[in-house]
Structure 1
Amino acid sequence: MSNTPLRRRGAALATALMSASLVLTACGGGGGGDTVRKAAETRSVKAENGTIKVPVGPQRIVTIGNTNLPFIDLGGKPVGVTELSRSELEVLPEEQKTVYEAAEVVGSSGGEVDVEKLAALKPDLILVQFHSNDWDKVGKRLETIAPTVYWGLDTEWKAFADAIAEAGNVTDALSQQKAAFTKKVAKIQATYGKIIAGSSFVDVSRGDWNDPATFHIADIGCSEIARDDIGLNLPEAAEGKDPLAYEALPFEQIGKLSKYDVITYPVDAEGKPTKPFVPVIETNTWKALPAVSSGRALGVFCPGNNSYGPVNRYLDSLDSALATLPAKK
């Protein structure tokens, strides 16, 4: 996913999407006859476009929109994908980038899918998540090509991972990632519990989509993990209001961050401030913040927040960052 934070996703589909009763096996497992049989058998999953009969063991999967990265992260090998941005590709582990580059690009990540090119791949399953307007443009055509499972943009990320793993037959990898997630969360809470309980945090960011000389308070994306799963005291929008991240704040308001004990900000995989955020840390106002001058401004790497793999990498970075906090005087 890109650095643009996604909206908080509701968990409404989680129970329905786990309704299939057949036991799944890993893609490509078993002998040739077993693979053919599993590809021919079907089961039902429920998604935003209804109850869909999908292959038990799909062999030729096309991923569209936000399903690209979660499916690949779970060990899937799609035959067709939609385009990823440069920023998304830059944070991918090398082996996942290789899988993505081996697939055929069938169009952009929106509704501009080359349906004929996609059909030529002869998929037996299509996984889709994008805006409902894009679904209105191409959804019915996709459904004529192969079983198509569609999720809206407000699907909560954990439910989304569950659903993709089930539909795409990659549940073994999901179980391992979930176990790692639970372990990492527990470690951070146990190690830094007192710091977390006694400190106010703010997550600030700036993307390449922000206007010059503006930044934003990040209350969606990886900061949701820190707040909702780890328990960091982070600001968030009031119920029913747009996320704070949607409001561009002028640099003149950087000084207001002085009321927080700890500031987190975006860095790349090497720990360097992301290019869009560099103008923020170059301001004198940023340098004068108490959290910055006292070593309580923490760079944290967030490669994405729509599947367990990148979230686990984020937790590793957050763990390392919290370990650098000086003791309170």
Structure 2
Amino acid sequence: MTMTPLRRRGTTLAAALLSATLVLSGCGNNGNNGEDAGDSPAKTRTVKADNGSVDVPTDPQQVVTIGNTILPFIDMGGRPVGVTEVSAAELGLLPAEQKATFEAATNLGSSGDQVDMEKLASLKPDLILAQLPDSEFEQIEKQLTTIAPTVFWGLDVEWKAFAGALSEAGNVTDGLGEQKAKFEKKVAEIKQAYGKIIDDTSFVNVNRWASSDPGTFSIADFGCVEIAQDDLGMDFPKAAAGEDPLGWTSLPFEQIAGLSKYDVITYPVDAQGRPTEPFAPVVGTNTWKALPAVSSGRALGVFCPGNNSYGPVLQYLDSLSTALATLPTKE
């Protein structure tokens, strides 16, 4: 059984819930122009996240990031003083400056449930940001909150809502604003350039992960393909509301032939355009090579470095746009 990648984001319902619950109170707004009836700017504000209402510094200086908050916070310009580990594969995809920021932070442990609390306390953080499984957070919540204000999100938060909430809590809204503007511009450009293709084409997104059983693949409806579906309006198969994601189901290689009913296939490649290591066995099969989409140049390798913040998503959109430009004219 194919396991769901840890960093998968939830969908529209989670976004609505989060956007409805994120509030800022107090007199400041990112520490810029918030003054009350007196002359002093507010020192704290209140945010609401999955662990309730939390009073956080208006302008935090010693931020610790745990779990999935690390790379999005750095992506938006944040400079954490402490982090938990991320995989070598993820580090390898980071721009040099972001990688240096990560490596300059103190390593607090391999994962959220392995945080070295003494080392964390020694950093004297004024804010802790965490996103990890609920069960892991429950193990460390009391310890974290005795050290510093802690803002926690579970894993099923839609990526845009998560980025917005994280930027507000960590006071990196300037970086988020620039990224959102670039994202909206890129989406508009793709729609304008490839609107007819998008309207007239049936797509399918296939994938394999390192955890996939041998001889299996999946029709993946989560990850970067969600941006193609939701923001670009591309016609990819996805699970019905309330059903498990299609990508949770492992399909044997014998079912690759069933992909022939789709006009265009997208599949994962690395930054150099090569099929990712887990997916390489699929493109090596004769069944794959015989697919009409493959033989006619309609199988598109697309690079997805991540879908948990705007920077990686923008790279995905660039790759998708380049891939769409290679499509031959539909007969």
User: Aligned with 1:52: secondary structure?
Assistant: strand
- Deviation of 1:217 after TM superposition, in Å, equals 0.9
User: Aligned with 1:127: secondary structure?
Assistant: strand
User: Aligned with 2:231: secondary structure?
Assistant: helix
Question: CA–CA distance in 2 between the matches of 1:261 and 1:112?
Answer: 46
Question: CA–CA distance in 2 between the matches of 1:18 and 1:325?
Answer: 45
- Deviation of 1:192 after TM superposition, in Å, equals 0.5
Structure 2 contact 267–299 (Cα < 8 Å) conserved: yes
2:28 match? 22
- Deviation of 1:238 after TM superposition, in Å, equals 1.4
1:1-329 alignment to 2 at 5 Å? 6-9=8-11, 10-11=14-15, 12-20=17-25, 22-24=28-30, 41-329=43-331
For each residue in 1:196-221, what CA deviation from the matched residue of structure 2 results, as whole angstroms up to 9, or x when unmatched?
Answer: 11010001011111111111111001
User: Aligned with 2:48: secondary structure?
Assistant: strand
* Residue identity matched to 1:267: V
Unpaired runs of at least 5, structure 2: 33-39
Distance 1:165 1:130, change over 3 A: same
User: Aligned with 1:111: secondary structure?
Assistant: helix
* Residue identity matched to 2:237: P
TM-score, length-normalised on structure 2?
0.92
- Deviation of 1:109 after TM superposition, in Å, equals 2.6
- Deviation of 1:51 after TM superposition, in Å, equals 0.9
Question: CA–CA distance in 2 between the matches of 1:291 and 1:19?
Answer: 50
For each residue in 1:214-244, what CA deviation from the matched residue of structure 2 results, as whole angstroms up to 9, or x when unmatched?
Answer: 1111100101000011111000011111111
User: Aligned with 1:230: secondary structure?
Assistant: coil
Distance 1:109 1:137, change over 3 A: same
Question: CA–CA distance in 1 between the matches of 2:220 and 2:153?
Answer: 24
Structure 1 stretch 54-63 or stretch 113-122: which is displaced more?
113-122
For each residue in 1:27-60, what CA deviation from the matched residue of structure 2 results, as whole angstroms up to 9, or x when unmatched?
Answer: xxxxxxxxxx97x911111111111111111011
User: Aligned with 2:152: secondary structure?
Assistant: strand
Aligned length: 317
Structure 1 contact 18–166 (Cα < 8 Å) conserved: no
Structure 1 contact 266–300 (Cα < 8 Å) conserved: yes
User: Aligned with 2:300: secondary structure?
Assistant: strand
User: Aligned with 2:142: secondary structure?
Assistant: helix
Q: Flag as ranges the 4+ runs of structure 1 deviating above 6 A.
A: none
For each residue in 1:83-105, what CA deviation from the matched residue of structure 2 results, as whole angstroms up to 9, or x when unmatched?
Answer: 10122112111111111111111
- Deviation of 1:3 after TM superposition, in Å, equals 6.5
TM-score, length-normalised on structure 1?
0.93
Distance 1:295 1:25, change over 3 A: farther
User: Aligned with 2:109: secondary structure?
Assistant: coil
1:30 match? none
Question: CA–CA distance in 2 between the matches of 1:180 and 1:246?
Answer: 32
- Deviation of 1:154 after TM superposition, in Å, equals 1.1
Question: CA–CA distance in 2 between the matches of 1:22 and 1:181?
Answer: 27
Structure 1 contact 18–162 (Cα < 8 Å) conserved: no
Question: CA–CA distance in 2 between the matches of 1:218 and 1:301?
Answer: 14
Distance 1:238 1:46, change over 3 A: same
Question: CA–CA distance in 2 between the matches of 1:22 and 1:82?
Answer: 30
Question: CA–CA distance in 2 between the matches of 1:77 and 1:171?
Answer: 13
Structure 1 stretch 112-121 or stretch 157-166: which is displaced more?
112-121
Question: CA–CA distance in 1 between the matches of 2:263 and 2:50?
Answer: 42
Unpaired runs of at least 5, structure 1: 27-36
User: Aligned with 2:113: secondary structure?
Assistant: coil
Structure 1 stretch 296-305 or stretch 13-22: which is displaced more?
13-22
